[in-house]
Structure 1
Amino acid sequence: MISTGTEGGKREGSTYVPALGLRVLTPLYDRAVALTTRERRFRGALIAQAVTRPELDILDLGCGTGSLTIGIKRREPSTRIVGVDGDPEVLRIATRKAAAAEVLLAFDCALAHELPYAGASFDRVVSSLFFHHLTWQSKQQAAAEAYRVLRPGGELHVADWGRPSGPTMRALFLIVQALDGVATTRDNVAGRLPELFVAAGFEQVVQEGHVDTSLGTIALYRARRPE
């Protein structure tokens, strides 16, 4: 089910940029991610570090086509999870995937800097391959909103492009930067996401690990909202 908040919308005065940069490529997104990012490994690691007990309330921020949302629900059916994204087309794909997987999920259409949820609504906010699409200002706004909707003691778990593990990973990441832009990805490749989360008020900000892929290094982060 999709409920509509800020449908489509614009980000900082620019037209919303869809997955893979071009609307025509949106149907290819899942296949591209599966082929290039060792998806099962990094998403499995993210789910393992985020879903540590039953009956959590979880928000999947920038859920895209719902792969992570569905994966979490399958791992722990008692989880109450909602996916949110600003692109109604990818949410339609997510809804079809959830139906095919026979899991009951809710998807909301809204932008990360103005989430349609009350403060302290969730135990976890999770996000995969989302923050690198945002400018630094939008990253700050998204991190602030994640902090706001988390309950005291709640946790933010992020898997996204991070500081390369070596020169080869840095060279491969140039492909991502060609597709998604240097301006939005430079903070990721410089390893600045922990700095971002600390500035938003989070504590115990750590990089739990990383996964080297054919497009660069994906880092896994954990951060906690203070009690």
Structure 2
Amino acid sequence: MSTKKFIPALGYDFLSDYYDLAIKITMPEKKFRNKLVDFINPKDNEKILEFGFGTAQNIIILKQRFPYSNVQGVDIDPKIKSIAEYKLNKAEIETPLFLYDGNKLPFEDNSFDKVYSSLVFHQLDMITKLKCLLEINRILKPNGELIIGDWGKAKTKWMRFSFYLVQLLDGFKTTTDNVNGLMIKYITDAGFKEISEIDFINTSIGTYSYYKAYKN
């Protein structure tokens, strides 16, 4: 099966090498990533997946804070996987990373206790958003937990204006649903329960929101 077309980090493949730098410049990185890990809150014997591991920065922080946590990652971008593997090796962290074709995740039904994702869904069109959420639902165990950190509904007029920079890079087609606050609708349509926006951080380029839900 051919790999589904995807939007690279920062919108263009040649910019992927500068992704970490862009995040450091435009966002309160330590704050938003550590808050994400707070919400993941790994427990003993939990099997956890990061959907869209990017440059592995979330995994590095999670493993540094919770060294014995069982976390894996999956992504669609071979170039970003190479960057992630280099960083994990440098940090002396061993974590399985998988590539997939953008269609079916390479895991059995009911495989994970928690799945989390950060800054992925705003890069997906409406059909792909729902397909990915359905796949995440499939691989979660009953009552398994979904945690998503991504661009959400702008909390101020300035947040809405500043988000245009993200839209220029990643495309208006994929990002508009996020800034219109529709992530909760997509998560609901994918069959999750107890869905809520649990927190947010205003950054220099938009409102980064945290969502939590559970598999039925």
Give me the TM-score of the superposition, normalised by structure 1.
0.92
Of 100, 103, 114, 1:124 maps to: 114
Percent identity over the alignment is: 37
Tell me whether 1:202 sits opposite 2:196 in the alignment. no
Unaligned runs of 5+ in 2: none
Of 71, 81, 102, 1:81 maps to: 71
Counterpart-to-counterpart distance in 1, 2:192 and 2:65: 26
C-alpha contact 1:169 1:215 (8 A) present in aligned 2? yes
Q: Mean Cα displacement is larger for which, 45-54 or 115-124? A: 45-54
Deviations 1:96-131 (A, max 9, x none): 111111111111011443100001100110000000
C-alpha contact 1:209 1:220 (8 A) present in aligned 2? yes
Amino acid at match of 2:214: R
Tell me whether 1:10 sits opposite 2:4 in the alignment. yes
Counterpart-to-counterpart distance in 2, 1:177 and 1:201: 28
Amino acid at match of 1:126: Y
Alpha-carbon distance, 1:35 to partner:
1.3
Tell me whether 1:28 sits opposite 2:28 in the alignment. no
Amino acid at match of 2:49: L
C-alpha contact 1:61 1:112 (8 A) present in aligned 2? no
Amino acid at match of 2:95: L
Amino acid at match of 1:212: N
Q: How do residues 137-156 of structure 1 correspond to structure 2 at under 5 angstroms? A: 137-156=127-146
Tell me whether 1:223 sits opposite 2:213 in the alignment. yes
Alpha-carbon distance, 1:161 to partner:
0.2
Amino acid at match of 2:199: G
What stretches of structure 1 move > 6 A for 4+ residues in a row?
Answer: none
**How many residue pairs end up in the alignment?**
216
**Equivalent residue, structure 2, for 1:45:** 35
Unaligned runs of 5+ in 1: 1-5
Tell me whether 1:90 sits opposite 2:61 in the alignment. no
Counterpart-to-counterpart distance in 2, 1:169 and 1:111: 34
**SS of the counterpart of 2:167?**
helix
**Equivalent residue, structure 1, for 2:173:** 183
Deviations 1:161-215 (A, max 9, x none): 0000110000000010011000000110011111111111111101110000010
Give me the TM-score of the superposition, normalised by structure 2.
0.96
Amino acid at match of 2:180: A
**SS of the counterpart of 1:10?**
coil
Q: Mean Cα displacement is larger for which, 127-136 or 23-32? A: 23-32
Of 137, 161, 165, 1:171 maps to: 161
